[in-house]
Structure 1
């Protein structure tokens, strides 16, 4: 992903997902979102995954 590694499976998962689907951002913004608003961030990721599944985009 050409970015430095920060600890945390959630950061890695969000960064990988964002990179796979061309969603703008960086590993640092992923880390900060998960640090400040972890529940909201993970709910957002879950909603996006479900939306893509419903559209058969995964």
Structure 2
């Protein structure tokens, strides 16, 4: 019976991985730049790092 429970737990664990949002570091997105532009649904958005090291996304 424990083998069946372990199998069910493994399936649930595998399915939960698909529910998690993708995580990307800001370093990967921005590289050495302080800003990038992101195109979404025909609109351009600016993602930039402020002087205090915060991220701001503006249209």
Q: Which structure has the larger Rg over C-alpha atoms?
A: 2
Higher relative contact order (CA 8 A, sep 6+): 1
Provide the TM-score with structure 1 as the length reference.
Answer: 0.26
Whichever structure has more strand as a proportion of its residues is 2
